Structure 1
Amino acid sequence: METVIQNTITNHKIMLDQHCKAIVGNQEMLARMIHEFVREARHLSVNEIMEIIKDEHRFKWLNNENMIPSYGTVKFDMFCCVDLPQLNGTNKQIYLNIEIQNNIHPGYSLVTRGIAYVLRILTTQWGVEYDDKNYDRMKKVYSLWIMPQATKRKDGDVDVYKVKKERGRMEKKKTKKIMTRKNLL
């Protein structure tokens, strides 16, 4: 009986994962997520973003298997690159990773895993987008994690993590050394 229950739970999670991917992969849903969470797209309407998604020159689904020799392979749920027109007439290309996470307590920090995924995407841009002569060509990465089985208390919550510069000042400690005949000997 335990095997039947375990198989049912496993099949339920697989089915939930597949349904979530189908919903998120829908052009309108994807356009709404990009509009809401990608800063470089907020000035665009959902319909404009949908048109970008339909254009294979401005929107590309990328290989979702990320392999780094000696470090292993990670399989992203959904991974794409979007070329977004900006108000100043330029285009801004971003990488977007979307993960459906059914287990909200996998035994490790999901935040740490999310950061690791972003770093992998940045690292694999080496030699494609940037190199040691021009780090400024590195493209921004967004990683959205959807948790369909989050608790009711967290339903609808959005947590945002970002790299942010903070400036502070180091205080120099002033120490006075009293010179005495004893210290000099």
Structure 2
Amino acid sequence: MKKGKSQYDTYCKRILANKIILAWILKYVAEEFVDMDIGQIKECIGTDVQVSEVNVLPGRTNTPGSERIIGESEEDSVPGEGELYYDIRFSIYYARQKQRIKLIINVEAQKEFRPGYSLITRGIFYGARMLSSQKGTEFTGRDYDNIRKVYSIWICMNAPDYIGNAISYYNIQKSDAIPGIPDEKETYDKISVVMICLNPKSEKGNRLTKMLGILLSPRLETGVKIYQLEHEFDIPMENDMGEELNQMCNLSDYVEELGIEKGIEKGIEKHLSQQVKKKLAKGKSVGEIADELEEDEETIRRILKNIE
């Protein structure tokens, strides 16, 4: 089951890593691209494509690759901190006042909104790592003005009902205790953490949450997904995306079936344990309990050991 989930996660990241999908995400969450159409944004995405292979050390940026942004699945490695991995990381370029501006983007896919910690705080950490790792590549010495803005975008696929479909931004903003310092946004607008929450039961949302809800749904059949993505959102099935959607849907069915089987097994085990407890309380021996429950004595001893 663990292998099936791992394969499912891999296909999910590969699908999100298609440039057309990344362009959709940036259209709705990055202020730099709000006035551009999806096709224009797609053309702005860089060629720094990684395939979950190269470990990105502090100060290193991405290296060139092919059309799809197949997640570097890399986090800047720091001795003593253990290994963490970006799901997807890439560069994008746009023009501002005749200048070519570069941004560094990270996209993460999560199945739980609160997996024992705050995803928002983790997003801030990822963004901070993307900033600090630029020293020696995007800027050298004290040339801090060349630090590139970073986005860490988190997609939570099973948001709680009280949240529903929602998008929130976490940015640095200027506030004055004593006014007087000029507000030069370009000097501090260097990091943005975006949380995109998806809930299939929620009726609120926008075009992005609807598209992602269809794309990542574990319930919709492949044919339905492809039809809706192509006809409602003008997303062509390029770069084998249709086949990857099919594989992801097949794996979601497999994982669900294994989960159901595992749940049934747990239920049977729990019921058997309760029966053993009752018979043990009546002073019955292991052999008597095994005979009455039609189980072998080894199984009864294992259950008794767990009870103790």
- TM-score scaled to structure 2, two decimals? 0.47
The Cα offsets for residues 26-57 of structure 1, whole Å up to 9 and x where unpaired, read as: 2221111112112222232111112233xxxx
Query: Residues 59-138 of structure 1 correspond to what in structure 2 (within 5 A)?
Result: 59-61=47-49, 62=62, 63-65=72-74, 66-86=76-96, 88-138=97-147
User: Could you tell me whether the CA contact under 8 Å between 2:113 and 2:159 is conserved in 1?
Assistant: yes
- 1:164 positional shift: 1.2
Distance in 2 between residues matched to 1:154 and 1:20, nearest whole Å? 23
Q: Comparing both structures, which one devotes a greater share of its residues to strand?
A: 1
Equivalent in 16, 20, 35 of residue 24 of structure 1 = 16
The DSSP-based 3-state class of the residue aligned with 2:94 is strand
Per the TM alignment, residue 72 of structure 1 is displaced from its structure 2 partner at its CA by 3.3
Is residue 159 of structure 1 aligned with residue 147 of structure 2?
Answer: no
- Does the alignment pair 1:35 with 2:27? yes
Percent of aligned pairs with the same amino acid: 29
Pick which of 115-124 and 65-74 moved more.
Answer: 65-74
| TM superposition shift of 1:127 | 1.1
Match of 2:42 among 50, 65, 87: 50
Equivalence for 1:183: none
Normalising by the residue count of structure 1, what TM-score does the alignment of the two structures yield? 0.75
* CA distance in 2 between partners of 1:16 and 1:71 (Å): 27
CA separation of 1:71 and 1:131: change in aligned 2, threshold 3 A: farther
What's the CA shift string for 1:86-144, capped at 9, x where partnerless? 3x222110000000111222211211111111111111111111234211100000010
**Aligned partners of 1:100 and 1:164: how far apart in 2?**
26
Q: Per the alignment, do residues 152 and 114 of structure 1 end up closer, same or farther by CA in structure 2, a change over 3 Å counting?
A: same
Give secondary structure in 2 for the equivalent of 1:125.
Answer: coil
Larger radius of gyration: 2
| Counterpart AA for 1:60 | D
Is the Cα–Cα contact under 8 Å of residues 60 and 80 in structure 1 kept in the other structure? Answer: yes
- Show structure 2 runs of 5+ residues with no match: 50-61, 63-71, 180-308
- Give the C-alpha shift of residue 74 in structure 1: 1.8
Q: Is there any run of 5+ residues in structure 1 with no aligned partner, and where?
A: 1-6, 171-185
- Alpha-carbon distance in 1 for matches of 2:27, 2:87: 20
In 2, the alpha carbon distance for the partners of 1:144 and 1:168 equals 31
- Tell me the residue number matched to 2:6: 14
In structure 2, relative to structure 1, the CA distance for the partners of 1:19 and 1:153 (3 Å cut) is farther
More helix by share: 2
Give the Cα–Cα distance (whole angstroms) in 2 for the partners of residues 22 and 42 of structure 1. Answer: 24
**Number of residue pairs matched?**
157
Q: In the aligned structure 1, how far is the partner of 2:8 from the partner of 2:159?
A: 13
RMSD, aligned CA:
2.2
Q: 1:105, 1:144 → 2: CA distance?
A: 16
- Contact conserved, 1:130 with 1:138, CA < 8 A, in 2? yes
